[in-house]
Structure 1
Amino acid sequence: VRRWTVRFLGDECRVASILAKRLSELAEREPDVMVRSQLACTAKRLPARDGLPIVQRLLERGLDSDDPHLPVLLWWAVEAHALDAREQVLKLFATAQAWERPLIRVAILERLMRRYAAEGSEAGYTACAQLLASTPAPERGRMLAALDQGLRDRPSAARNREAEKLPPKLAELLDTLWKDNPTGVTLICLAARLGQQMAYDRAIALATDPHIPQATRLTLLSLLGEMGKPTCVAPLLKLLEGNEPEAVRLAALNALQSFENDEIADMLLRSYPKLSSRLRSRATEILLSRKTWARAFLQAIDTGRFPAQEVSTEQLRVVALHKDRALDNLVHKHWGNIQAGTPEEKLAEVRRLNNDLRAGIGRVAEGRVLFRKHCATCHKLSGEGESVGPDLTYANRKDRDYLLLSLVDPSAVIRKEYLAYNVQTADGCFFSGLIVEQTPNAVTLLDGKNQRIKIARNKIESMQESPLSLMPENLLKQLTPQELRDLFSYLQSDTPPRIERGD
């Protein structure tokens, strides 16, 4: 009865002042979690003067820190009033006392910082300054990270400004923190996003310094690619030429894909033979993603400079998106027809593979090794592998025909959560992958190698659903008949083989 009463009172989005007071008093003593949940929902609907006191009472009681839903409901109630009742919200949460309340600390403060930063306005930055000033020193790292994330969530117009005019209070706070910790990666990132040239220059210097911890360098390399300033291209190219760890060179490659600069293609073509197999694979994807770069790369293969066997048909899919007959002809010359097979061809392939499977017995342990090599990049089985594609643990694995058809023709049936998209940027670069995150300002894709690609919406020319699965056809053709039996033996096993120490 209490829950429904609270619900009905909130449906009209306004209550008399005496009822608002009674709801606040109920929030202070209500023992039932379902009623407290409804109080949070009603507080979101009511005007700030009536809703925020309800939220305050629920947060101060701190009963629901471990509840899976109520902390989020309380945040939604705060967020609903964060802009139109900014002063009232800050009076509640920009205080040292707020940090002493576990539920406020866990559910509200970082989200509130991120929300105000994402506004991208002077009023928002002033609110951030108030929150940061009230933060205890041991917690500043968390709030700075939230501020940095909020800056990434800003509208495109705000993110593209050369330099932000910060309110004096926030500028003073950041300057003080910068002097105390001039190499702090979070501070460098947020200052660079606010248009501070000194921070951007520091990011380049640290990202290219071999004495800096690798994790810091990888974060800063990602920042440089995200910001897209051409001045970082030359330092990034030097990282590829130098004697750097593979992870650093890979991060530099990923950052360079953001730039339409033919020097990048020239450098990749010169360095290609000396790169490790993993770096060559990534360089191939980058070179094929732009039409002029793809032409230079495919012509180099055509003249015998690079072996065609190193380029997979999966990587060549993007070439068709350029809609260039000369490129299509080069692909056909060296790799044949890479389009999907006809239904008759696929049915014949299923029959051939079935015959191979019937011809002998598979070995589960060897099959697990093959699963790790060919499948685990995208699929999980019994807790092992990645989650780009469906979890095979719960698939219909006992049905051999089902498995064969799924492998031979992966695009026949694609569940909606695994639909891939082709994205073309305004500067002619193509990306393909699953959409794993969308914000008003960016789209994040996950490609077939479990790599995340974040693309600013203001750079997207077109985004279309792909008729093809991320999973390529003909995966099984590279296996011998015995390897095929081993793989299927593992895929269809009830339990995975025991993992030996050191395995």
Structure 2
Amino acid sequence: MYRDPLRIVLFAGLMLAVFSPVQAAENDDNFVPRRQQGVPGPPLSPQDAIAKMTVPSGFSVEVVAAEPDIVNPVAMTFDEKGRIWVTESFEYPRSEPGPGRDRIKVLEDTDQDGAIDKVTIFAEGLNIPSGIAVGYGGVWVANAPDILFLQDTDGDLKADKKEVVVTGFGRTDTHELPNSLTWGPDGHLYGLNGVFNYCHVKHRGQDFVFTCAMFRIDPRTRDFELFCEGTSNPWGIAFDPNGQAFVSACVIDHLWHLTESGYYHRQGGPYPPHTWKIESIVNHKHQMAAYCGIEYFDSDAYPQEYRDCLYMGNIHGGCVNVDVLERDGSTYFAKPRPDFLTANDVWHMPVDQKTGPDGCLYVLDWYDRYHCYQDARARPGDVDRLKGRLYRVRYENTPRAQPYDLSQETDDELIARLASANRFYRDQAQRVLSERASTDAIPKLELVVLDESASQKTRLHALWSLIGARQMSDAFSLKLLSHPNPQLRSWAVRYQGTVASDSPEIAQRIRQLARDESPDVRLQVATLAPQVDYLPTVPTLLEVLHHSQGDKLIPHIVWQNLHPRLEQETPQYLVLMQQAPYAQSKATLSLLPRAATRILGTPGLSVEHVATLVKLLASQKGQEQQLAACLERIAAQTQSRELTGDRLTQLKSQLAQSLSEVMAMGAKHPGYYHAANLALAWNDTNAMKIVPQVFASNAAPTDRRIAALDAMLSAGHPQAIALVTKYFESADNNQDEVGRVIQTLGKSDSDVVATLLLERLDSLSAENRPKAVEVLLQRPAWTLLLLAQIESGNVPKDILSVNQLQRLVGTSSPDVTEKIASIYGTIKTGRDPSRTFIVAQMRRLISSKEGDPHRGIEVYNKLCGQCHKLHSKGQEVGPEITVNGRGNFEQLLSNVFDPSLVIGKDYQAVTVLTTEGRVLSGLLVEDSPSRVVLKMQGGKLETVARDDVDAMKTSDTSLMPEGIEKQLSPEEILDLFAYLTLTKPPSDPKAELISGAGVIDPNAIVLPSTAHNLLADAKISTNVPEFDAGKRGEMRDLIFIPKTGKFVRDSQWHEIGVGGGAELGILSEENAVTWTASWDKPVSINFLTLSGTYPNQPQADTAWAVEVKIDGTWQTLERGQGGWYNSGRFVWGWPGAVSVPIEALRVKVFSRDEKTPVRSIHFRGEEGFSWFAGNLLPETSVVRQ
């Protein structure tokens, strides 16, 4: 297709005119964005981009559309005419809702040459339209906070009618907005939302509060519901030939099989009470961890080996990954295949993949240097606003799609298309048939569904056409419910969740299907059971579970639908569980421990029910492990005080005999120790002996010892403290075990615990000392003892972090607050703004010298590993940082030294004050009517009964403390970052530095002409007259101007100084010689360069300091003797690094000691390098090539 050059030039000029305030220049950019290993370099033209791509033999990549036809494309879809609908976003990453500049375009190839030649703007004024689907007479658009339905009522391909279908989606994280609007097999419109985008949808009298979830909308009724919840930032929905849903997601595992009512592993944030989370279907990873788009490919345009697999866009990897599915009971397991496309261009960002009418895979490319939301958020002006591509991956000479319009085809023609070898036509024809809901088509579709000679794919699409049209009769449903094909049976069951027939015959048949041989059918029955009145939920779920022993998914779905029913239907549940076959079924018995916890956690339910469960498990041979698990859970609930008073007394009366029988069986019984721990809650005689013996035994496993200690402290066992004292006297204790013992001691209210810990604080390992401090801060009396030791000088002040002090001031007793004020002064709440300066200082340190990554592992274990996992080591309290928070060096610096600068809601610390005065702080795991669960430092879960919660407070700061630089020596900081900045463990030969990390060579720096020297705008002063009027030059002679390549004043040497015979004498630092630059208003700098004296200048070891004034106070950047001052270079900061607002800059020179006089002082400017202070943008290159 011919491209008019003038059109392109005019378009580019218009775009620059409109978007120039936010458009970054395309230059040699030295900034290395997150998750990239080098400078991105300039963008490629569309043709150059496809020339660099790698695809399998026989395939080629074609440009379907590119700038200026599409710009910043986010989502795409095809309609029934083969037109491509694309959403564009110039607003990204804007958070504010309201009208914007974004739009929807319709792309057409009118001459069938494979390239777009007609572009129509369908809608404008949108604000990050993140999903699009065409159907049911209009266009569905995800445009947070809304899902919109746009219509063209007059046929000009322009939206002229708008309906807000649903509203309430968040914009807290605009790269996790509602997305991936996709038509499901059942005729619903499905979509996704991310974990840090908080939503509150109010729809037709219902409230939906959620984050990461799959939702769906009925296009006919506009009903909205959550299909399932969990994962991370899912982006892309695909349905396999059986109609099962798969999504790709970021950060955690990349591929998930989603089922209605399921709750899946979350990247962050609390789970609903009693959730039994479902995991992903992969145990492998592709490149990095950012996925966008997914397509189940089923088309005869490709050879067989490239069909029936999932194609997923990998943003960081710049490629299209491939996984193939294998069945695993009612769920799936995915295995990797070689990548299908590799761009070999870091600008490539595959955000959407779709099969087209020609049967080829289409790949939508956002095309930008910034892969990560954090970069776009921090530098929205550098997001490219001029590019976007759509590619087609074609096999050999696959024919072009010929013109068609399914909307004009007859029902018979559409039904014929359901047999197409290209799934595109099957999907489109099915949707059109569902929309029409033609009564004439019903018998014809039913015949196809029942046609044994037709392929299963064709039969299912025919069935889905009927389901989407809501046109299945009870008679036909009954026929399918008894059909030998399990997929037809399962979909017939699922359909009942939409229409809820009142047919007794259907109800009876579905009850029978609870024992169906197919796991797919049983799964649908488990999902349907709580939705319809004609199914007795509890019996149906138990029947499904009984026949699903060993299935990985069905037990989770059964539990998710069963446990809410226990609040009202526990008696029925218990009756059934005591009858055959459930009383002997491993599958049904496996849920009893969870059921016991659920019943005990529900006010109003009798503890007698739990006793019944325990006795049932005790009576069944082979269920000893389940009995042990049940007793362990009950014991935990007594120790957390969820079970107290009359209910605990009742539990004793119901269980005492059963527990005695278990304990009488001896330690060989798996439930022996748990029975003892539970019985200790009412001071059982045998338990009073058994439990202390367990803790005192060095041969006992750590888990068993900790459980015993927890039981003793919770019950107030008289020997507990004495045994702990004896434990600490042993020198052979495992340090991990010591740490867990310390953490458990918070359960005690004895001041002896505080004395024990304070006496041993110095001798504790680096990993366990912080744990001891945290325990001491849990009770005001203990905190006062610690503060007394700090005040006396026996314990260093910096043992308490800023976060801990802020927490204590906000939640502790007046005595604690007063004591803190007397020791530390006023404690400011919230993030400390001076952290910006600390980050800059740490950058200077870490970039100046290499550390040892192997020693860094030790530092990591004692400091970071308490809350973070890296390369499979450490605890998962905060984010797993193997793939999070280390996108580049600047991000890592900020996250470590300024942790509260950017913090997700789910990672804010929550502090709980108990009725007994205990103060606990951690990440919120569960907040339910019966209890609050926190994940503490070190990974320990702390459960507090709701009745014991006096107050809860969410901090504005991160759980990660500020000021870790005070806890480490400079060498430890260097070692820690030598480890943190590696992509793999240091023992791995493939380990590389993350982008932006490494030692800076000051001799390789040359300032570019674009750098503005703020020193030229400053007032320069000195306390030595010779600097201003001496023979060596004037004060401003040092200042280099990159734009001109010259100095402020063209002097002979560009030097200032005093003569060699000046004999300035002994200069104290207070009376140092100074060179000072000051500004009327603060200026922001992130880069500073200075040059020292010329060679052979005497007194190379003269002392010096470089300082900046911030908020009226001089802060030291660095100090030393000799070094840069002696013919060297001083470099501080880096382009694109965090900027520090300063009021003045000064260099001081003084005697290194009280005996060494200063004879002379010289400073010299260096062409191309110094003296310079500025705020350089990330794209500024300062490294000599």
Separation of aligned partners in 1, 2:856 and 2:642: 52
Separation of aligned partners in 2, 1:317 and 1:296: 18
Aligned counterpart for 1:178 among listed residues 663, 666, 670: 663
Aligned counterpart for 1:492 among listed residues 962, 973, 981: 981
Distance 1:87 1:160, change over 3 A: closer
Superimposed CA distance per residue, residues 171-229 of structure 1 (whole angstroms, 9 cap, x where no aligned partner): 54433323222792111123234x3532552355325534662533321111223x353
Separation of aligned partners in 1, 2:831 and 2:562: 55
Separation of aligned partners in 2, 1:179 and 1:124: 24
Q: How does 1:96-495 map to 2 (within 5 A)?
A: 97-98=581-582, 101=585, 103-106=587-590, 108-116=591-599, 118=601, 121=606, 123-125=608-610, 127-129=612-614, 131-136=616-621, 138-150=622-634, 152-153=636-637, 158-161=643-646, 164-165=649-650, 171-181=656-666, 184-193=672-681, 195-202=682-689, 205-207=692-694, 209-210=696-697, 213-215=700-702, 216-225=704-713, 227-229=714-716, 231=718, 234-236=721-723, 238-239=725-726, 242-243=729-730, 246=733, 253-266=742-755, 268-269=757-758, 281-304=770-793, 306-308=794-796, 311-313=799-801, 316-321=805-810, 322=812, 323=814, 324-332=816-824, 342-343=832-833, 345-361=834-850, 364-395=853-884, 397-476=886-965, 484-495=973-984
1:434 Cα offset (Å): 0.9
Counterpart of 1:202, as a letter, is: K
Separation of aligned partners in 2, 1:224 and 1:173: 21
**Equivalence for 2:522:** 36
Select the structure that is richer in strand: 2
Separation of aligned partners in 1, 2:779 and 2:655: 41
Give the conservation status (yes or no) of the 8 Å contact 2:589–2:626. Answer: no
1:316 Cα offset (Å): 4.4
Separation of aligned partners in 2, 1:395 and 1:236: 42
Separation of aligned partners in 1, 2:495 and 2:932: 39
Distance 1:397 1:57, change over 3 A: closer
Separation of aligned partners in 2, 1:153 and 1:354: 48
**Equivalence for 2:1135:** none
Superimposed CA distance per residue, residues 278-331 of structure 1 (whole angstroms, 9 cap, x where no aligned partner): 665444333333333322332233334x23267242554543232545312343
SS of residue matched to 1:44: coil
* Higher-RCO chain (CA-CA 8 Å, sequence separation at least 6): 1
SS of residue matched to 1:448: coil
1:142 Cα offset (Å): 1.8
1:420 Cα offset (Å): 0.7
Tell whether 2:72 aligns with 1:72: no
Superimposed CA distance per residue, residues 355-387 of structure 1 (whole angstroms, 9 cap, x where no aligned partner): 334434555555445444443332223333332
Distance 1:231 1:252, change over 3 A: farther
Distance 1:341 1:200, change over 3 A: same
Separation of aligned partners in 2, 1:104 and 1:326: 57
Separation of aligned partners in 2, 1:412 and 1:158: 40
SS of residue matched to 1:468: strand
Q: How does 1:20-59 map to 2 (within 5 A)?
A: 20-29=507-516, 31=518, 33=520, 35-46=521-532, 50-52=536-538, 54-59=540-545
1:426 Cα offset (Å): 1.6
Separation of aligned partners in 1, 2:899 and 2:564: 44
SS of residue matched to 2:782: helix
1:123 Cα offset (Å): 4.1
Give the conservation status (yes or no) of the 8 Å contact 2:583–2:589. Answer: yes
Give the conservation status (yes or no) of the 8 Å contact 2:642–2:931. Answer: no
Under a length normalisation based on structure 1, what TM-score does the superposition of the two structures give? Answer: 0.80
Separation of aligned partners in 2, 1:249 and 1:148: 22
Q: Structure 2: which 5+ residue stretches go unaligned?
A: 1-466, 468-488, 990-1185
Q: Once superposed, what is the RMSD of the aligned Cα atoms?
A: 4.0
Q: Percent identity?
A: 25
SS of residue matched to 2:937: coil
- Is 465-474 or 39-48 further displaced after alignment? 39-48
1:414 Cα offset (Å): 0.9
Give the conservation status (yes or no) of the 8 Å contact 1:250–1:279. Answer: yes
1:44 Cα offset (Å): 2.5
Select the structure that is richer in helix: 1
Give the conservation status (yes or no) of the 8 Å contact 2:779–2:918. Answer: yes
Separation of aligned partners in 2, 1:99 and 1:463: 42
Separation of aligned partners in 2, 1:294 and 1:231: 24
Counterpart of 1:142, as a letter, is: Q
Superimposed CA distance per residue, residues 80-131 of structure 1 (whole angstroms, 9 cap, x where no aligned partner): 555655565445433574476554354x344345445556625414532552
Counterpart of 2:664, as a letter, is: K
User: How many equivalent residue pairs?
Assistant: 489
Give the conservation status (yes or no) of the 8 Å contact 1:116–1:128. Answer: no
Q: Structure 1: which 5+ residue stretches go unaligned?
A: none
SS of residue matched to 2:696: coil
Separation of aligned partners in 2, 1:469 and 1:447: 13
Separation of aligned partners in 2, 1:149 and 1:347: 46
Give the conservation status (yes or no) of the 8 Å contact 2:692–2:708. Answer: no
Separation of aligned partners in 2, 1:213 and 1:419: 37
1:157 Cα offset (Å): 7.3
Separation of aligned partners in 1, 2:652 and 2:827: 60
Distance 1:61 1:266, change over 3 A: closer
Give the conservation status (yes or no) of the 8 Å contact 2:601–2:642. Answer: no
1:268 Cα offset (Å): 4.7
Give the conservation status (yes or no) of the 8 Å contact 1:437–1:445. Answer: yes
Give the conservation status (yes or no) of the 8 Å contact 1:222–1:255. Answer: yes
Counterpart of 1:25, as a letter, is: Q
1:36 Cα offset (Å): 3.2
Distance 1:59 1:360, change over 3 A: closer
Counterpart of 2:711, as a letter, is: L
Answer with 1 or 2: which has the greater Rg. 2
1:440 Cα offset (Å): 3.8
